[in-house]
Amino acid sequence: MRNGRRLSDQWADAVVVRPRTGEHHLAVHRRLVLAFALSILTLIVVTTVAVLLSVRSEDCNATQGSTAAGGAGRSNGSRGDRVDEDEAHQPWKRSRLPGTLRPRHYDLDLSVHMENFTFNGDVSVELECLNATRYIVLHADRLDVTSVSVSSDSSTSRRSGGGLLRLHRHFLFPYNQMLVVVLHRELRPIRAYRLNVSFQGVIEDELLGFYRSSYTLERERRYLAVTQFSPTHARKAFPCFDEPSFKASFSLTLRHSAHFLSLSNMPPDGRTPDDRTPDDRTPADRTSDREALDGENGWVTVRFARTPRMSTYFLAWSVCDFSFIETHSGSGVKIRLYARPDAISSGAGDYALHITRRLLGFYQDYFQVQYSLPKLDLLAVPKHPYAAMENWGLSVFVEQKILLDQDEASASYRMELTMVVVHEICHQWFGDLVTPVWWEDVWLKEGFAHYFEYVGTDFLFPKWNMEKQRFLTDVLHEVMLLDGLSSSHPISQEVAQAADIDRVFDWIAYKKGAALIRMLAHVMGQNLFQRGLNDYLTTHMYSNAARVDLWNKLSEALRWAGRQVDVQQMMEGWTLQMGYPVVTVSKTDPPHLPIGYVSISQEHFLYAQEVGAGNSSLQWQVPLTVALGNSSSISSEHLIWIHNKTETHLIGPMDGDTWLLGNINQTGYFRVNYDLDNWKLLTQQLLTNHQIISIGNRAGLIDDAFNLARAGLLPQGVALQLIGYLPVESDFLPWHAASRALYQLDKLLDRTEDYTLFSDYVLKQVASRYHKMGWPSNAPSNTPSNTPSNNRSVMKASYQTEELQREVVMLACSFGNKHCHRQAVSHISDWISSNKNRIPPNVRDIVYCTAVSLMDEDVWEFLWMKFHSSNAVSEKKVLLEALTCSDSSFLLSRLLNLSLSSELVPEQDLIDVIIHVGRNPHGRELAWTFFRDKWEVLNARYGEALFMNSKLIGGVTEFLNTPKELEQLKEFIQASGAGAGPALQRALEIVEGNVRWLRLHHHQFYQWLRKAPDANMASDYAGR
Ligand SMILES: [Zn+2]
């Protein structure tokens, strides 16, 4: 599963930091508490009724049998069962399923009524009894259970009625989303049984379980229905054992109107016309009259082939009227991409289909494990709670992450889309074939899929250099921002309540998971890492595995090569402890170190360290790589393991000009600090010949320096001085790292008095590169858009150059370069006057935003109109975000209100609108007020999908930085009743940090800018 997010967004939207104490028991969703209260009440009523009923039916219960068991709580038990000591155990009261029974196979028949968005179904589960029990406890949520029966003969067809067992009662227990069946007699170990349940439900409007969505084609509204079961929503579509370790096979049969087609994990065995009325439950295998299909309201029955053993959460189906395009992988897997007919005919699916075909081959080679199913469908839906979901054989994507209009899409849109596809295909192995035992280790699948986004994209486009470069800024630097908060949490975290499960899908799981896996891959070396993964996948295929299983396989691979590294011992420090260390390497402290020696110490890195928030007991096994360099060369790296708080190591001969560099290419998940003398030597090196230091290390030095300064561990001037070499930097990544740091500072400073000191400084750094590179050339208008993507691949050699050009233009325009502003204005004027958009897609967001902020209201109206008329999903998003750049509070308010109340703005985009208004200094207060005023509406709308809610909270609050705003946030947390919410807790810590930085450091920061060390700069600023 992948969250959809722009790469440039700074603070993660997904991170919901869990309280580290037992507080989470208090944090249970209020609705659940209410549900619990209600269920207790129901239980009391039900038990009373049951007791009364069983007393009355005392004389006739023997003849009733299990078939009489009806709705929830109805009892047909005998008096002897009424007060049963076993019920004292009440296994449904526990949040996890009891391990007494295991499902082996599900036969699931569903009739889908698209005309009124309901479904009814029968599920028949073959169960294996492991321990004697009278209770069958499984999951069911929001379902109306109409009948339940249990038979002793698992092989008997569920409709034959053979071997029925007498039921005591069955009931729903909503608090734990469970269905409980109580039997008269115990089920016996080793024997197999069959549970049959009939049920009905609603195809929801919410994006969970089995839900509906729609699109417009030729002014006609058309509907589709699709599932989203991860992590805990399969239970909303059929009663099932909805925990990942209860793997079983599934045979699905769908009945629906012949106007639609249906898809599932497996290919259909057959589609037969069907003349039965939907409620007629005669045997499904009866061959119907072929002519029935010809009728206007004909129904069809589609039976899908039996799946391999799998978890419930990646079972999937869809009923829709889409078209498809098709290809085959090298090994003969049929790959199809399904989407709206107009998207298919315009070629918007071609690119994703093409890369998927290549990726299947890549992963099969890399893992040395074949793809397991005969087909793979990619389904593009208009609405989805995440970017995509990796259902085995039927991966579902939101349109913006899989459809690509060749002429409209920017390079970053294409890159994001590519990575989402790479991610989901990786899950076909990591997640679907081998599944984490429980959600506490969700990072085992998400960390891998996220890491492979970079490895797999490198395979597709080697020149992008994703794993070596882009990974640093987009994953490592980003997650270290979050994991440096004291409200962070360990990557493996306890998950007790159902409500906690959504919370584990956060950036810590995804990005820290990926960063730790990358660190381990580099420590092991590529070949051994691959060997270990292959062993892990083949040993645990069609089953589950825990992190220890992975550590064991990786240790074995190392032992095979004669290396004795206990991977478990090494990795537990990184996975069971929160945060990460800052490693300080010093030649001068303590004084009088023997020649060639350095002291190396490790300490828990926290932004609030300066106010004593660090946890001094935390310690890691740190694989620190170091190299020595001077003005003309750098030594090869060597690895030092750091186990203790402070160690002394022999590094080699160092004279006064020798600098030392740690964490080579930033493969390690930690920061490195040095003595000030070493920082000075490194800074001088960058100024005189920066290419001695690798691109990755240049970006790493910039990120470390700015963050160490933010935490008060380094003087502010050291970081600013370090980027003094940027005018000569011609590679994208160091610029990207610097601009991330500068935007972060910009948002802290943009309402301070001396702001222009800062913006002038940035413009000075950018000017020469901006003039050297200029703007990208105009987009060709009227290029045929249906050219096959594989022939006109945009993956040009100049990709890095294009990205750098974009970065520099963005910096220039946003910090106020006049030439840049004129260019943007002329681009928009050209569009308005010619009604042809010739603006290069790569800079459209910059042009639109700049024009909206500089030009009058007509431009805003023009883009608003274009937003409505555009059909290209990527373009729509860019236009909407540009509307948030206005200086006018009137327009911003209008946009916020329209986004909330009208259907004009898609529901999932409202959050982005609010956040982007908040990034605009003219809109910050407006967005913050709007957020608080509308909190109840917003929370009701997005509260269920925690991902969205925490993205909203994080986005709206991250740049609040005045003591007044901090007070307002505290008041809001108090008053909103959501005080214990982890996203709010995190927001509070970030805002406190902002306020603290401004109080402690911003004077020092401006002071440095006022007497900037560069002679040119000093004279430039002399007159101010
Ligand atoms: Zn995923």
Per-residue pLDDT reduced to its tens digit, 195-210:
999 999 999 888 889 9
Predicted confidence (pLDDT) at residue 516 exceeds the cutoff of 50: yes
C-alpha dihedral (855, 859, 863, 866), degrees to nearest 10: -150
Predicted confidence (pLDDT) at residue 288 exceeds the cutoff of 50: no
Q: What confidence tens digit (pLDDT) does each residue in 556-577 have? A: 999 999 998 899 999 999 999 9
Distance 536 CA to ligand 1 centre (A): 19
Distance 430 CA to ligand 1 centre (A): 9
Predicted confidence (pLDDT) at residue 898 exceeds the cutoff of 50: yes
Distance 362 CA to ligand 1 centre (A): 18
Residue 165: other Cβ atoms inside 10 A? 18
Predicted confidence (pLDDT) at residue 782 exceeds the cutoff of 50: no
Distance CA 398, CA 809 (A): 30
- What is the predicted pLDDT for the residue at 77? 36
Distance CA 386, CA 401 (A): 10
Sign of CA dihedral 512, 518, 521, 522: negative
Distance 401 CA to ligand 1 centre (A): 13
Read off the pLDDT band of 780 (50, 70, 90). low
Distance 389 CA to ligand 1 centre (A): 7
- What is the predicted pLDDT for the residue at 274? 63
424 carries an active-site annotation: yes
Distance 404 CA to ligand 1 centre (A): 21
Distance 226 CA to ligand 1 centre (A): 18
Distance 206 CA to ligand 1 centre (A): 21
Contact 841, 805 (CB under 8 A): no
Sign of CA dihedral 260, 262, 267, 270: negative
Paired tokens of 694: 């690798």
Read off the pLDDT band of 286 (50, 70, 90). very low
Q: What is the mean pLDDT of residues 82-104?
A: 80
Distance 450 CA to ligand 1 centre (A): 7
Read off the pLDDT band of 983 (50, 70, 90). confident
Distance 390 CA to ligand 1 centre (A): 7
- What is the predicted pLDDT for the residue at 42? 53
Read off the pLDDT band of 13 (50, 70, 90). very low
- What is the predicted pLDDT for the residue at 9? 36
Q: What confidence tens digit (pLDDT) does each residue in 693-721 have? A: 999 999 999 999 999 999 999 999 999 99
Q: What confidence tens digit (pLDDT) does each residue in 227-240 have? A: 999 999 999 999 99
Mean pLDDT, the chain, rounded, equals: 85
What does 43-101 look like in DSSP terms, one character per residue? HHHHHHHHHHHHHHGGGTHHHH-GGG--STT-B---HHHHS-GGGGT-GGGSSSPPTTE
Q: What confidence tens digit (pLDDT) does each residue in 55-84 have? A: 333 333 333 333 333 333 333 333 334 445
Q: What is the mean pLDDT of residues 467-475?
A: 95
Beta bridge partners of 272: 301
- What is the predicted pLDDT for the residue at 539? 98
Q: What confidence tens digit (pLDDT) does each residue in 332-365 have? A: 999 999 999 999 999 999 999 999 999 999 999 9
Distance 911 CA to ligand 1 centre (A): 22
Distance 847 CA to ligand 1 centre (A): 33
Read off the pLDDT band of 961 (50, 70, 90). very high
Predicted confidence (pLDDT) at residue 885 exceeds the cutoff of 50: yes
Q: Which of 818-832, 891-905, 919-933 has the lowest mean pLDDT?
A: 891-905
Q: What is the mean pLDDT of residues 529-554?
A: 97
Distance 3 CA to ligand 1 centre (A): 8
Distance 421 CA to ligand 1 centre (A): 10
- What is the predicted pLDDT for the residue at 495? 82
Q: What confidence tens digit (pLDDT) does each residue in 153-173 have? A: 755 454 555 689 999 999 999
Q: What confidence tens digit (pLDDT) does each residue in 575-628 have? A: 999 999 999 999 888 888 888 899 999 999 999 876 666 667 899 999 999 999
Distance 426 CA to ligand 1 centre (A): 9
Out of 424, 729, 965, 989, which one is annotated catalytic? 424
Residues 6 or more apart in contact with residue 782 via CB below 8 angstroms: none
CB-side exposure of 62: number of CA atoms within 13 Å? 1
Distance 224 CA to ligand 1 centre (A): 24
Predicted confidence (pLDDT) at residue 855 exceeds the cutoff of 90: yes
Q: How far is CA 257 from the centre of its chain?
A: 35
Distance 947 CA to ligand 1 centre (A): 13
Contacts 24+ apart (CB under 8 A), 411-415: 411/794, 411/799, 411/802, 411/803, 411/806, 411/841, 411/842, 412/6, 412/7, 412/8, 412/803, 412/806, 412/842, 413/841, 413/874, 414/351, 414/794, 415/7, 415/457, 415/464
Distance 506 CA to ligand 1 centre (A): 11
Beta strand segments in 340-459, E: 375-381, 388-389, 394-398, 434-436
- What is the predicted pLDDT for the residue at 408? 77
Distance 903 CA to ligand 1 centre (A): 30
Q: What confidence tens digit (pLDDT) does each residue in 111-158 have? A: 999 999 999 999 999 999 999 999 999 999 999 999 999 998 755 454
Predicted confidence (pLDDT) at residue 977 exceeds the cutoff of 90: no
- What is the predicted pLDDT for the residue at 11? 28
- What is the predicted pLDDT for the residue at 117? 97
Distance 40 CA to ligand 1 centre (A): 37
Q: What is the mean pLDDT of residues 21-38?
A: 38
The more confidently predicted of residues 44 and 922 is 922
Distance CA 766, CA 848 (A): 21
Beta bridge partners of 597: 650
C-alpha dihedral (231, 236, 239, 244), degrees to nearest 10: 0
Global pTM value: 0.86
Q: What confidence tens digit (pLDDT) does each residue in 986-999 have? A: 899 999 999 999 99
Read off the pLDDT band of 981 (50, 70, 90). low
Residue 635: other Cβ atoms inside 10 A? 15
Q: What is the mean pLDDT of residues 994-1013?
A: 89
The residue whose two tokens read 């899989």 is 402
Distance 850 CA to ligand 1 centre (A): 35
339 closest CA partner among 400, 381, 375: 381
Distance CA 436, CA 55 (A): 47
- What is the predicted pLDDT for the residue at 64? 33
